[in-house]
Amino acid sequence: MIKSIILAAGKGTRMKSDTPKVLHTIFDKALLGYVIEAVNGTNLADENYIIVGHQANEVENYVKSNYENSKCVLQAPQLGTGHAVSMALPYLKDFEREVIILCGDTPLITSETLKEFIECHKSNNSDITVMSAIFDNPTNYGRIIRNSDGTLNSIVEEKDADIEQKLVKEINAGIYCVNWGKIKSAFSELKTNNAQGEYYLTDIIKWGNEKKLRVDAYTLKDNEEIFGINSKANLSEACRLLNRRVVKHHLDNGVTIIDPESTWISPETEIGADTVIYPSCYINGKNKIGSHCKIGPFAHLRGDVILEDHVKIGNFVEVKKTTIKSHTNACHLTYLGDSEIGANVNIGAGTITANYNPLTKEKSKTVIKDNVKIGSNSVLVAPVTIEEGANVGAVGVITKNIPAWALAITRAPLRVLENWVKKQ
């Protein structure tokens, strides 16, 4: 197994936020989380070392709460990317195999690309491999300068490049795979002879060539994968790029998405073929949607939602932490949270599962069995169970369990006072 080092110490000044840059989210998952999961998804890395600095405690709490195979290492003071990687030296002093080095603000990188990158490094018997990309407009990026045999000669920053080097369209993507046993000594030999007075990670290329090691570059197939987040505008663009990727995946697998531009679907959502997603839906978190379902328009799935086949979630319906069995409809203006709903159920317009107690801060479950009919504008106050075949009359406020095949009515009898208006 290999190791990874993920750089996550930066402040992210251009984000103009109190939140650390790597903890900004796309579909409620932190940018750093996407990178860690991409590494873990290769099934090649058993440990990740997250280099933290700015608001280190917040980043460390996030990592500890979500990723058992990841450890945070503090970089203080922050003296550049090369210095950041050197913070992992005490933890990897006896490690000799491959280490991949990534940035924690590139959420679009995929496990497939990282796996191919590592395999390329190994097949070339490389000691250092840098990921590169081809940009039509490479301005402001470090240029990849190759030797005649295709190996990597150097990375030249824009400000240091001559006229010929500036014409090079291959740029440094900022991801590295190194043979740690041969490379680790470089991090105690890097110099700060640059305008920033920092230790640059890119300097290991020159160091490796001076040591007669094999240094290569692997060219990325999809440039979007290295899109970095440095501002809220970048964050918004990354959301769009990731969503476009997810939507295309579902379209390719038989899902009908009426308006891809207004439909947002999280990467963790599974959707069966022949399901139709109508415009202006937001599907967040981890969900499993069956085949032949209809979702929306204007529906919101908030995560932990399981819909079996032939379920309809209609306009302005919000669903969270709920399982719904087949041939059940919730067509209009409804909230279903912390619920188990059976098959062949009809949920009337305006129904609410009142699952939250604001005094105790507890959430309780609503259970609706098969063949139940819930009338419009009903409130089901959890914990409550509606047994099979029961009907709840419109405007019902249900605070206790309803037996099978019963009718539950809580509204007052209708009174009609004839000619009341004229008398007034």
C-alpha dist (Å) from residue 390 to 53, 124, 409, 413: 58, 68, 11, 21
Q: What does the pLDDT read at residue 5?
A: 98
Q: What does the pLDDT read at residue 140?
A: 87
Would you place residue 157 in the very low, low, confident or very high pLDDT band (cuts 50, 70, 90)? confident
Residue 263: name the closest of 244, 241, 238 by CA.
244
Query: Which whole number is the average pLDDT over 137-158?
Result: 91
- Residue 34's domain is classified under what CATH number? 3.90.550.10
Q: Is 118 left (phi over 0), alpha (psi -120 to 50) or beta?
A: alpha
- 419 lies in a domain? no
Q: What does the pLDDT read at residue 414?
A: 87
Whether residues 164 and 312 fall in one domain:
no
Q: What does the pLDDT read at residue 197?
A: 74
Whether residues 187 and 279 fall in one domain:
no
Query: Which whole number is the average pLDDT over 31-36?
Result: 98
Would you place residue 158 in the very low, low, confident or very high pLDDT band (cuts 50, 70, 90)? confident
C-beta contacts of 220-225 below 8 A and 24+ residues apart: 220/113, 220/131, 220/132, 220/133, 220/173, 221/113, 222/113, 223/133, 223/134, 223/135, 224/108, 225/106, 225/108, 225/109, 225/110, 225/113
Whether residues 112 and 18 fall in one domain:
yes
Round to whole Å and give the CA distance between 37 and 413: 58
Q: What does the pLDDT read at residue 295?
A: 98
Q: Does the annotation mark 250 as catalytic?
A: no
- 68 lies in a domain? yes
Q: What does the pLDDT read at residue 161?
A: 87
Whether residues 219 and 367 fall in one domain:
no
List the domain range (segments joined by +) for residue 197: 2-226
| Residue 113 clears pLDDT 90, i.e. is over it | yes
Whether residues 164 and 277 fall in one domain:
no
C-alpha dist (Å) from residue 364 to 345, 348, 360, 384: 20, 21, 11, 8
Whether residues 208 and 324 fall in one domain:
no
- What percent of the chain lies above the pLDDT cut of 90? 92
Annotated catalytic residue: which of 249, 292, 300, 332?
A: 332
Specify the pairing of strand 29-30 against strand 25-26: antiparallel
Residue 333: phi and psi, rounded to 5, are: 50, 55
| Residue 199 clears pLDDT 80, i.e. is over it | yes
84 close to 103: Cβ distance less than 8 angstroms: no
Report residue 395 CA to chain centroid gap: 39
Specify the pairing of strand 346-347 against strand 329-341: parallel
CA dihedral (179, 183, 184, 187) in degrees, to 10, reads -140
145 close to 260: Cβ distance less than 8 angstroms: no
Q: What does the pLDDT read at residue 412?
A: 86
- Residue 391's domain is classified under what CATH number? 2.160.10.10
- 413 lies in a domain? no
Query: Which whole number is the average pLDDT over 82-111?
Result: 96
- 417 lies in a domain? no
| Residue 413 clears pLDDT 90, i.e. is over it | no
- The predicted model scores a pTM of 0.93
Residue 49: phi and psi, rounded to 5, are: -110, 115
Q: What does the pLDDT read at residue 46?
A: 95
Lowest-confidence segment of 41-50, 183-192, 292-301 by average pLDDT: 183-192
Whether residues 183 and 303 fall in one domain:
no
Find tokens 């608001």 and name the residue.
Answer: 55
Can you read off the two tokens belonging to residue 75? 């970089």
| Residue 194 clears pLDDT 80, i.e. is over it | no
Whether residues 222 and 259 fall in one domain:
no
Amino acid symbol at 194: N
DSSP helix/strand/coil, 225: helix
- 19 lies in a domain? yes
Would you place residue 52 in the very low, low, confident or very high pLDDT band (cuts 50, 70, 90)? very high
Residues 6+ apart with CB under 8 A from 115: 42, 44
CA dihedral (376, 378, 382, 386) in degrees, to 10, reads -60
Lowest-confidence segment of 157-166, 228-237, 285-294 by average pLDDT: 157-166
Residue 226: name the closest of 34, 415, 40 by CA.
34
Can you read off the two tokens belonging to residue 260? 């891809």
Q: Is 212 left (phi over 0), alpha (psi -120 to 50) or beta?
A: left
Query: Which whole number is the average pLDDT over 184-210?
Result: 87
- 87 lies in a domain? yes
Whether residues 206 and 331 fall in one domain:
no
Whether residues 141 and 12 fall in one domain:
yes
Whether residues 6 and 144 fall in one domain:
yes
Residue 382: phi and psi, rounded to 5, are: -75, 150
Can you read off the two tokens belonging to residue 84? 């950041």
218 close to 130: Cβ distance less than 8 angstroms: yes
Q: What does the pLDDT read at residue 37?
A: 98
Rounded to the nearest integer, the mean pLDDT of the chain is: 96
| Residue 278 clears pLDDT 90, i.e. is over it | yes
Round to whole Å and give the CA distance between 132 and 142: 10
- What percent of the chain lies above the pLDDT cut of 70? 100
Whether residues 161 and 121 fall in one domain:
yes
- 18 lies in a domain? yes
Q: What does the pLDDT read at residue 226?
A: 96
- 386 lies in a domain? yes
Question: Structurally, how many domains does the chain consist of?
Answer: 2
